[in-house]
Structure 1
Amino acid sequence: MIAGEASGDILGSGLIKELRETYPDAIIEGIGGPLMIEQGFNTHFPMERLSVMGLVEVLGRLRELIGIHRKMYRHFKKNPPDVFIGIDAPDFTLRMERKLKKLGVPTVHYVSPSVWAWRKKRIFKIKESTDLMLTLLPFESKFYQAHNMKECFVGHPLADDIPMEPSRTEACCALGLDSQRPVVAILPGSRGGEIKYIGETMLRAADLIHQKLPDAQLVLPAANEIRRTQLEALQQMVGVGQQIKMVDGQSRTVMAAANVIALASGTATLEAALHKRPMVVVYKMAPLTYAIGKRIVKVDYISLPNLLANKPLVPELIQDEATPEAISEEVIDRINHPEKYESVVQEFHQIHELLQQGGNTKAARAVLDLIGR
């Protein structure tokens, strides 16, 4: 297996746990994160080295990424696995799948690339590289069926892990927060590049929220020690955000405790929806990356709740629209007028029911069926 970021680590750990129900002594190795390692996974490189966002940013790390890819390919070529599973990170993992499939190794890709949104001709490369596509979202499954590619809609494991009605009171107690006061969760992303581009904006937005709603409790979960160090340095540099309570990990507990969540676009937006919490989605990237992406991406929305509902359930503040003032205004409106967003919360319930498919178990069965064939 190779996973490239925190969301892939979550999927990988759940899949490993299920696979070990059938093969408890299996050797499962490649590149993964702390959750996968907890399940007995052997990682050859820190997963953090693959967590790169944006076209421009990849160029600066290209030599290192190519080196890691070559070393992993040589290892797998020398020690052919019974199956290779690429978890998201398509630019890295699909290339590995293509090379290993030529050696006769069965290949699985877990989490569809956004092929339905841009560069649709990639479907031919995907079919050339991958024996089985595990899809998380129903509209992805239909896309692959239309192109006669073997796929399995497994739903999203997060929908199985997160309770249908998370307890805000319990979460506040676990974090030492007052459940009678509003809680605003600030999640600027789990990758260094995300925090580089939106970290300052999010901290300044938090400062404005504190000024206008001094009773609000601001909580920021740092994905890991590296991100915490990065965020603390950013706080000192910009001189704001000192009133934020920073915690290590515990992003789901923070979401459960929140009345409103301000967060970076990504899997976290789905987690927020599954927690049934109103949210404000924020995203920025390098200007050149954004200019290129704007020309080639052909979707109306970037956040998973909006994509799943096919309508603007949650606000998306992207690039120049992502200002501290705009973010704080959207958050404060949701704190002051929760009744306006009750219908959105009901939509989140429907999304949860749709994605609750026993994802880890379905994914493991599909992988074992492939090996069996």
Structure 2
Amino acid sequence: MTTNNNPLRIGIVAGEASGDILGAGLIAALQKRFLSLEVEGVAGPRMQAAGAKSLFPMERLSVMGLVEPLKRLPELLKIRRTLRRHFVDNPPDLFIGIDSPDFNLSLEESLKSAGIPTVHYVSPSVWAWRQGRIKKIARAVDHMLTLLPFEASFYREHQVPVTFVGHPLADEIPLQVDTVAARRELGFDEGGQVIALLPGSRGGEVRLLGPLFLQAARWCHRRRSDLKFVLPAANEQRLTELKSLLADYSDLPVILLEGNSQRAMAAADAVLIASGTATLETLLLKKPMVVAYKMGGVSYAIFSRMLHTPWVSLPNLLAQRDLVPEILQDEATPESLGAALLQFFDDPVLTDQLVREFDDMHQQLRRHASERAADAVCKLLDSRTENQNNTTL
């Protein structure tokens, strides 16, 4: 790998915590390749710590479902217009949209039409629902970076330039997880079993799933009094909301954390988790999980009719079968979630088999993702420079 003496200026937008992790890793990898790197756009705390300048708080882009974005639409459109004007007036060498496809793809399309190269990092679930978006993606994106292998195959079939980079979390998380050390760090006494509760990082998720997950925890605890629970809050706002919820659950032995979700999952014997990127993290930590999700009734009615796959969780999508329980919407009750969790404790053979499959998947995704993503970005920049030189000649 050689260092480029030319300065590089990148526009970037990440809309939630998982994108912040990816963006920070990519920035660090690009800093190894360029002596001077300037990054600005919408960035979370990890990206800002890596040197990115955020023009808007990332939290303002974190919306869920189909109805909530409509309520916030005027604000979101204003942010996008401001970003577009900023980048068109001050063109970066490259724009990278990280996930958040409903926000980023339209921005990428307008920037690409203005002559700015665009990369989209993390494929939208276009293979699962709203498959017609592939046409917009082709117009908006010069290069797609996918985290999962089956996604890259889909883009190749539709002639969209793509690179499968693997997942940075698969590189970061060790193949062997020290559960005992994690419990010691969290202050758990020896003995008993631990369930981690992860109701999501967005406010809407915590409002819908937080009470449900605590009710499921109470259902389990009444049947196994030695069970303990750990509940990580994604940020300070979620911490305040979860503290308020826990006031009604003083009978539960729960450790509430601000952040540190990975340590919470590492300490657990099983995890009750909202469907989303964190299910992949749980897989990489080799933890049996029950995946649940709820959204507003209107949003779910629309979403369920548009879905083209029988699964919503990443472990099941990777396996292409029912590897872990998915319990959604009206079927997600304290009893159904609790019973699925306790099955892992009652059937050790099932649990051991699941852990072995998770280990195989971990190794498939362990590909030095941030470095591969940076390589793809550099190749795109080099090809653009070469084409411009050829045009000049």
Partners of 2:133 and 2:246 in 1: how far apart? 41
Partners of 2:351 and 2:92 in 1: how far apart? 49
- 1:227 paired residue number: 238
Among 262, 284, 305, the residue aligned to 2:272: 262
Partners of 1:142 and 1:246 in 2: how far apart? 41
Structure 1 residues 315-372: Cα deviation after superposition (integer angstroms, max 9, x where no partner) = 0010011111111111122123323221111110111011111100000110111112
Q: Give structure 2 stretches of 5+ with no counterpart.
A: 1-11, 384-393
TM-score, length basis structure 2: 0.92
Partners of 1:240 and 1:63 in 2: how far apart? 41
* Count of residues in Structure 1 that have an aligned counterpart in Structure 2: 372
Partners of 2:25 and 2:32 in 1: how far apart? 11
C-alpha distance 241-227 of structure 1, shift in aligned 2 (>3 A): farther
What is the CA-CA distance between 1:242 and the residue it aligns to?
A: 5.1
Q: Could you tell me the percent identity over the aligned residues?
A: 50
- 3-state secondary structure, aligned to 1:114: coil
What is the CA-CA distance between 1:199 and the residue it aligns to?
A: 1.2
Partners of 2:95 and 2:239 in 1: how far apart? 33
Partners of 1:241 and 1:153 in 2: how far apart? 47
What is the CA-CA distance between 1:198 and the residue it aligns to?
A: 1.1
Structure 1 residues 111-144: Cα deviation after superposition (integer angstroms, max 9, x where no partner) = 0011111121211110100000001111100001
Among 348, 369, 387, the residue aligned to 1:338: 348
Among 326, 335, 339, the residue aligned to 1:316: 326
On the 8 A contact 1:12/1:87 being kept in 2, the answer is yes
Q: Which amino acid aligns with 2:234?
A: A
Coordinate RMSD, CA, aligned: 1.2
What is the CA-CA distance between 1:73 and the residue it aligns to?
A: 1.1
- 3-state secondary structure, aligned to 2:290: strand
The answer on 1:43 being equivalent to 2:54 is yes
What is the CA-CA distance between 1:179 and the residue it aligns to?
A: 4.5
On the 8 A contact 1:187/1:263 being kept in 2, the answer is yes
Structure 1 residues 69-96: Cα deviation after superposition (integer angstroms, max 9, x where no partner) = 1111111111111000000000100111
- 3-state secondary structure, aligned to 2:32: helix
TM-score, length basis structure 1: 0.97
Q: Give structure 1 stretches of 5+ with no counterpart.
A: none
Which one has a bigger Cα radius of gyration? 2
Among 250, 260, 278, the residue aligned to 2:288: 278
- 3-state secondary structure, aligned to 1:119: coil
Q: Which amino acid aligns with 2:323?
A: L
Partners of 1:172 and 1:198 in 2: how far apart? 25
- 3-state secondary structure, aligned to 1:171: helix
- 1:217 paired residue number: 228
- 1:197 paired residue number: 208
Partners of 2:20 and 2:153 in 1: how far apart? 26
- 1:107 paired residue number: 118
Q: Which amino acid aligns with 2:21?
A: I
Partners of 2:105 and 2:16 in 1: how far apart? 15
- 1:139 paired residue number: 150
The answer on 1:359 being equivalent to 2:363 is no
On the 8 A contact 2:344/2:351 being kept in 1, the answer is yes
Higher alpha-carbon deviation: 146-155 or 20-29 = 20-29
Aligned residue runs from structure 1 range 79-118, under 5 A: 79-118=90-129
Among 320, 328, 332, the residue aligned to 2:338: 328
What is the CA-CA distance between 1:263 and the residue it aligns to?
A: 0.3
On the 8 A contact 1:206/1:241 being kept in 2, the answer is no
Structure 1 residues 176-206: Cα deviation after superposition (integer angstroms, max 9, x where no partner) = 1135321110000011111121111011111
